[in-house]
Structure 1
Amino acid sequence: MADVTELRCWPSCVNALDWSQDNIIALASDERIELLFPNTVSYERDNDVPQWQHVPLQVPWFSNDELPLKNPAPLPNYSIGEEISPSVPIAVSWSPPGLAKHRRCALAVLTSNLVLSIWSAEGKLHEEPSWNRRLLINNALTDYFSKSSATEISSISSKPEERLRLRSRIRAFAWAPPLSGESRTMGTQVSYGRQYLAVSNDDNQVIFMVVESPTSSLGSSSSWKADILAHASLRLEEGTSSTEPELFEDIVQQQRFIPHIAWSPWIWQGDQHRSVVVYATNEDIRARPITFKDGTMSLGDEITYQRMDVRYSGPMSWCPQPDSSDLLTLALFTSSGLAYLSVSAKDASIVDKTSHNLDGRWDQISGVVWDHDKQPSPRLHFSSLLSTVQSPTAVLQKTSGTLESGKAPNWKEKIENSTVLFSVKNDLKGHSRTKVWGLTASALGDFIAACNSLHPSDSIEYGPPADRRGTVALSTLKPYSKIRESLPIQNTTAESLLFTLKKLVENTVEDAEQMPTFAKETVDKMMQAYRSDDISDGSVGAVDINDLEGLVKELKVRAVFDENTLKDRYGILVSQACGDTSSNELSRTLISYRLATALQRLSPALAHTPFSEEILMHQNRLTSLINGLLFPNEAEDDVMEGIEGATSAQILIRGLIIHANIPDYFRQLVGTLDQIRAAIAADENIIRDAGSDTT
């Protein structure tokens, strides 16, 4: 089936799955990270079902340059993970879009040696050599605390070199969700903003940092880096810390690190953004309100949620969508069950609390997904490592002040069916069990992926690692008919939307004659769901030419958010989902034409080099050619006056600024220049035919 792929490995941790905005699923296994690219069945159903594409990343491998050898730590600070572990992945999470090249997502991987690394691709996503480790967050902690740790007292170690060792280890991390309020359409944002990351170390501290790449810095930086913005230490209770514990009980009860971190979505209140960061201690939950205003992030005072122990359980998960009263919803999976909280974004206080016993299950929660699309209250899907199939509850929804269990979801039914088939295939007579390693939702929230492995329950399982098998299966969170009725109105990318459109074609279009109707209907719905009202009437040239971010923003507003260009872009995307790209030439040509027109309105002062002048010359030729075809009886000035600038994500989107001080932008425009030359030289006949048809 196209909705299922088999893995030749077992996952290495719970919450082992994460689905990016770029439609890539990352899976943590013992020896590598598996990047999974889900495929769909083409409309020609006679073809074989395509297999998913798997790209392995050798995350556990570190060079001596990346991780120099360290002297063994003394017994009080000794870490098995840091010193002798095989560096298996223990947590994975994709960043929001905008950090990696071409404004894609970057992958953060925490390994058992307590090292957090950032991975991204430089070339084709489906090729393993394109992916590489770009940054080690631990190095940023070492640089930061080597300058400041001498004046700070540690509750665990009194020696400066050991304090630095503890503060450079990473136990947990969480990306900040993207800031709300920026104008955006499908696949394009006016401003991506900065990417924030929170990590915890081995000395009871939470560190807030910003991660930057050559892409996010608009070419001003040639390398990846992480800058520490602030750090906060836990307020420790008496008796929970000691630099020299003597008894085993003291060692077990000692508060040494923060095992879980979760960062809430942002809420716009007044003139600033607000969110809440929660993190777990041995005995309770701590929370800090975060405010973001005028490019500056500030931390509020720490507050405590008493009698909520998630030290050996977890996880903690925020609902991605605030409720109607701008309250944040937090699910805490504690040792005694689920605590379902409504939290104020202003001061991080608990407004409402509901609990559920989770059927008395004792095993660890392995996956959490929120389904929050157009419902009175969000539905919480969750799995546990060993008892998902046996326990009746897999979905909870808050109704009339209580948490009620919903019917078994599709993903659970698929796991139950695979368990039965495994038992029959291996003649186990029902003696089989399933381990569920994780759940993750697609970017649009319409699909859910579940990872599980199958095992015998009444005998010893043995065999080489090559015989290990796991499964990742996709399920819908709602029927395809409802997905087709209205597309989810939320941040997304072209890759995620294309996947949903292909699934709709596969499951709702029964006849080729219905394809044009489906295409027109879908484009109209996309225009309603993913259009921007941020249309600028001013000239791009009015922006200060030294304000790079301002130039990018204003040019995107004029060149991307034009209604005609949005419709052309969505039409091209839908045609790809329908498998008919023969009618895209005119749309692509007009998109290039509108973008070339918008770029010509930039100030001539930006063209300082022969390269930029050559680009403008070819764009002038392109616009003159199409103007002559589309408007043969009008003067050029009248034509230019009535044209709105626009572009697509596939043509010229990464070469928006022509600035002599940023040579990287010029190099990115080389491919664009070749396309323009080809359009003028090789495809001139196509353009003329398209123009004559239009006129």
Structure 2
Amino acid sequence: MPNPAAVELQLSPSCYSCLSWSEDGELAMAAGEYVQILTPRIATQEGKENPSLPGKTNAWHVTRIRVNLFANKEWPTIFPQKNEHFSIGPEQSLSTVVGLSWSPPGLARYRRCALAVLTSNLLLSLYEAGAKGKWKRVAIVNVALKPHFQAFVKDAGLCLRKAYIRSFAWAPPLKVSGDVEGAAYSVPGAEARWGVQVLSVTNDDNDLMCLRIQRAKGEGGVDGYSVKMLSMSSLHDAEANDGLVQSGSLLSAALRSRVRSLHTAVGPWVYRPLDQGGGDSGVCCSATANVAVLYGSKVKIFKLDVTLAGGDRKDPEWGYSSSAVSTENALLCSEQVNACQYTGPLRWIHSNGSSRMHLAVGAMAKVVTLSFPSEAYLGTDATSGGVQVREWPLAEGTGEPSDSRSWEPISGMITSFDESTQLSTLHIGSVGGISGMTEFRDAPDEGPLHPPLWKNQLDDVRERFDLDCDLGGLAIARIWGLASHRGLAAAAITLHPGDMVDYRTTSGERTSIVFSPASLHSPNKELSISGQSPIDLSPEFLQAKRETVLGYILFSYDSDTNTYPWSHRLLYAAACCTAVGSHNQELISQAKHTLEWLAATAEVDLTEEISTCSTPRRKIKARPAEQLDGKENTIYEICTICDAGIGWYSPLEAQCASGHLFVRCGLTFMAIQEPGLSKFCSLCGAEYLSEDMLDEGSDFADECRKLAAVFDTCVYCQGKFLA
């Protein structure tokens, strides 16, 4: 497989772990007051050369958003605080980016990933793409936390500290099991498809909080997200002693008061049987995860038990009601675990079907992996075996001689999972340019760290810089962050001279991002940045996908009340689309039943439409003008240009009796007759009516929103919609 080419950006990273790669393929990079977002270009349907490969030119759309500007209502003026509550970040910093991470898919608009950005003023903001590709801040997590603490914290300074966020990490989506015995053409709920989004944060007062994040039901405004506190645990350890300072001394007390939690990582969810979680009380999901926190130089691990309940216990705003309990997992925290001074970052490592969990922690001149059995992870069995600790020295070559170790901090650590080999791979990079990787299954690889595949790319970029600047082999490459996405790994590097003072103006700042396969066992083929797989656009495949929507609409008939939950116009469109384009006899029979129901309910003559169900692939003529006048017309479509009727001959397009041609919506199958009402799939380009552009309060707009909530990705290729 050819080595992908590097991307050069005119910026300097502002923090370690400066890269984050979303499931949608968007690559974000922290750059001081800005965040640079690289979105892969997608191949066109016409079969032109695919530019979304890393080795192609112009493979990215680049967007820069400024993140250090806040309105006064978002970040009120803060006056100098007392010594015990003073924090230089909120009071004096320039609010540069100190951390960023994409959420799992499904949280943002059109089920995309939201970008969480932590700035040096200790505010955690959420961003999503808006109209015309413009990114906007849609929520500040601190604003939602402040009222919670004001209810029981009377000291205003302490309340501010509790609302400041020091570190954060997204949990994997907590998914509810779908209804296996659902009705025909039923679709699992959003919690089963995308899961519940949980965010773990630590504040300036060393509290660990687990939050549930959800996009609000209402559209518009900065209040587009809701935040709910699931659990809170204190990280304070009154008896803590790091061994370097005498316990109980004034210096020890002063140092302990300044300890902060700067790194957080959430492990995988382990689902428990529902009969053990109270299945008789409406519980539909019960799971356990562990949250690792770097508290000063020690690792603390908390067990988080979350329960989701439905049925009568559903919340009108949040859907499934949620409750959680977090307690320190004593089985995973021992003197052996905290025998060394950790510096971070933290990464959980887990392979499907593995009997052990692993936690990688950065330390001075080494990486430490903690391995423990799944029973200890769940906190259920103390006799299942102790924690196994292994150290990986960071040095060029094997890393055995202690004097050759690199003492630069670890600036990037990622894990990737290869589905073909069921192996997890850990990638490590340091500011000193040291890199390594190793593979995990039930136990880590016994050998030393291997050079990652992107190390060759890094060396090529460094050698070119060395030749261009005539440095005689003294060029230095510093690694600032790592990221992975669908079999690819990326590393952000900067280049510097090694024998002189490095001074650059802003215009001379450069950062290179290099790409490579994330696994040593990657298939011998080109890997796409976007992760796009070939799209089947054959008529048979498109019709089969279309029938999932038609069946969902037509089979919603309630025999007890003899009603449908949809309007006459939408039912008529779905039935006609089935009659002229489907070969599915079950669906055609239901379409005929729907037309007969419409004829009886609306008191109209639908003989032609009903007869078409018996001889599919026929056309349905447009209705004459006299049948379209008046308020009685609740079924037929009318051309907004000439007021003529619109017939049916294709599920893809519509034409009125006067010849005006329109595209049909891929979800409601209605003609899209006005510009600016559409949304498009980012992969196949299919056109749909945008529920956000329709008139508020209209019955048709409400129906579009109901359908869009169920079919929230492209019906044909499952691609995300363009914002």
TM-score, structure 1 length as denominator? 0.70
Question: 1-side partners of 2:501 and 2:562: how far apart?
Answer: 71
Structure 1 equivalent of residue 279 of structure 2: none
Matches within 5 A, 1:500-579: 500-501=531-532, 573-575=534-536
What SS is found at the alignment partner of 2:434? Answer: coil
- Paired residue type of 2:388: D
Partner of 1:115: 123
Matched residues in 1 for 2:457 and 2:163: separation? 43
SS in 2 for 1:76: coil
**Alignment CA distance shift 1:277-1:665 (3 Å):** farther
Quick one: distance in 2 between partners of 1:148 and 1:618? 56
User: Could you tell me whether the CA contact under 8 Å between 1:397 and 1:406 is conserved in 2?
Assistant: no
In structure 2, the CA distance between the partners of 1:107 and 1:376, relative to structure 1 (3 Å rule), is closer
C-alpha distance 396-625 of structure 1, shift in aligned 2 (>3 A): closer
Match status 1:133 vs 2:137: yes
CA shift for structure 1 position 11: 0.9
Q: Comparing 175-184 with 592-601, which one deviates more in the overlay? A: 175-184
CA contact (8 A) 1:282 1:309 kept: no
Equivalent residues in 2 for 1:205-216 (5 A)? 205-214=207-216
Residue 177, structure 1, aligned to residue 172, structure 2:
yes
Indicate yes or no: 2:320 matched with 1:317.
no
Give deviations 1:408-447, integer Å, cap 9, x for gaps: 22211100111011000111111211111111110x3x11
Matches within 5 A, 1:511-660: 573-575=534-536, 583-585=537-539, 587-603=541-557, 612-627=567-582
Correspondent of 2:370 among 337, 341, 345:
341
Offset at 1:15? 0.6
Amino acid at match of 2:35: I
Residue 50 of structure 1: how far off its partner (Å): 2.6
Tell me how far apart the structure 1 counterparts of residues 215 and 75 of structure 2 sit (CA, whole Å). 21
Q: Secondary structure at the match of 2:229?
A: strand
- 2:513 partner amino acid: V
Match of 1:285 among 288, 299, 307: 299
Secondary structure in 2 aligned to 1:378?
Answer: strand
**Match for residue 358 of structure 1 among 381, 394, 415:** 394
User: Could you give the per-residue CA deviations for residues 151-172 of structure 1, whole angstroms, max 9, x where no partner exists?
Assistant: xxxxxxxxx1111011011100
Structure 1 residue identity aligned to 2:358:
T
Shift of 1:463: 2.9
Residues 173-572 of structure 1 correspond to what in structure 2 (within 5 A)?
173-179=168-174, 182=177, 190-214=192-216, 223-238=224-239, 250-271=253-274, 272-295=286-309, 296-303=323-330, 304-306=333-335, 308=338, 313-325=343-355, 327-335=356-364, 337-343=366-372, 344-347=376-379, 351-359=387-395, 360-373=405-418, 374-375=420-421, 378-388=424-434, 393-395=436-438, 403-442=446-485, 444=486, 446-478=487-519, 482=523, 499-501=530-532
For residues 34 and 257 of structure 1, the distance between their equivalents in structure 2, rounded to whole angstroms, comes to: 28
Structure with max Cα Rg:
2
Deviates further, 223-232 or 646-655: 646-655
Alignment check: 8 A CA contact 1:41 1:49 kept = no
State the alpha-carbon separation in 1 of the partners of residues 29 and 370 from structure 2: 29
* C-alpha RMSD of matched pairs (Å): 4.3
Q: Which amino acid aligns with 2:207?
A: Q
Distance 1:653 1:340 in 2: 51
CA contact (8 A) 1:339 1:354 kept: yes
Contact kept, 8 Å, 2:175 with 2:194, in 1: the verdict is no
Matched, 1:146 2:114: no
Q: What letter corresponds to residue 666 of structure 1 in structure 2? A: E
Give the deviation of 1:100 after TM superposition. Answer: 0.6
In 1, Cα distance between equivalents of 2:195 and 2:442 = 37
- Name the amino acid aligned to 2:378: K
Give the drift of 1:269.
3.5
In 2, the alpha carbon distance for the partners of 1:411 and 1:427 equals 24
* Contact 1:176–1:198, Cα closer than 8 Å, also in 2: yes
Q: Distance in 2 between matches of 1:587 and 1:19?
A: 31
Q: In structure 1, list runs of 5 or more residues that go unmatched.
A: 151-159, 486-495, 503-572, 576-582, 673-695
> Structure 2 vs 1, CA of residues 40 and 448 (structure 1 numbering), >3 Å: closer, same or farther?
farther
Give 1:284 shift.
2.0
2:200 corresponds to which letter in structure 1? A
1:518 match: none
| Distance (Å, rounded) in 2 between the aligned partners of 1:3 and 1:405 | 28
Change (3 A) 1:416 1:597: same
Q: Which amino acid aligns with 1:145?
A: F
SS in structure 1 of the partner of residue 343 of structure 2: coil
Measured after TM superposition, the shift of residue 208 of structure 1 is 1.4
C-alpha contact 1:627 1:636 (8 A) present in aligned 2: no
Instruction: Encode CA deviations 1:41-98: one digit per residue, 9 max, x unaligned.
Output: 8976699833421111111111222111111112332211111111111111111111
Q: TM-score, normalised by structure 2?
A: 0.67
* Counterpart for residue 684 of structure 1: none
**Cα drift, residue 196 of structure 1:** 0.9
CA contact (8 A) 1:258 1:280 kept: yes
| SS, match of residue 574 in structure 1 | coil
For 1:259, what is the secondary structure of its paired residue? Answer: strand
The answer to whether the 8 Å contact 1:240/1:254 transfers is no
Partner SS state of residue 23, structure 1: coil
Find the aligned partners of 1:291 and 1:46 in 2 and give their Cα distance: 45
C-alpha spacing 1:431/1:631, structure 2 compared with 1 (3 Å): same
Contact 1:274 1:289 in 2 (8 A): yes
Post-superposition Cα deviations, 1:293-343, rounded to whole Å, max 9, x if no partner, equal 344322234533436378772001001535522x32111112363221123
Q: Which has a greater percent of helix?
A: 1
C-alpha displacement of 1:471: 1.0
Deviates more, 1:40-49 or 1:71-80: 40-49
SS in 1 for 2:287: strand
Alignment partner of 1:65 is 2:108: no
How far residue 145 of structure 1 moved from its aligned partner, in angstroms, is: 0.4
| Equivalent-residue separation in structure 2 for 1:88 and 1:412 (angstroms) | 29
* Alignment size in residue pairs: 554
SS in 2 for 1:37: strand
Cα deviation, 1:597-638, whole Å, max 9, x if unaligned, reads 3211113679899x8332222222211222489999999659
User: Partners of 2:687 and 2:513 in 1: how far apart?
Assistant: 34
Deviates more, 1:160-169 or 1:309-318: 309-318
Change in 2 beyond 3 A, CA 1:20/1:438: same
Matched-pair contact (CA < 8 Å) for 1:654–1:669: no
Contact 2:365–2:408 under 8 Å retained in 1: no
Partners in 2 of 1:480 and 1:403 — Cα distance? 18
Say whether the 8 Å CA contact 1:593–1:626 is kept in structure 2: no
What CA distance in whole angstroms lies between the structure 1 residues aligned with 2:252 and 2:191? 53
* Separation (CA, whole Å) in 1 of partners of 2:443 and 2:106: 40
Secondary structure of the structure 2 residue equivalent to 1:69: coil
Contact 1:280–1:311 (8 Å) recurs in 2: no
Deviation at 1:27, TM superposition (A): 0.7
Q: Measure, in 2, the Cα distance between the counterparts of 1:616 and 1:103.
A: 27
Q: Secondary structure at the match of 1:482?
A: coil
- 1:326-381 Cα offsets, whole Å, 9 max, x none, are x3211111236322112332119754322222233211111112243254753321
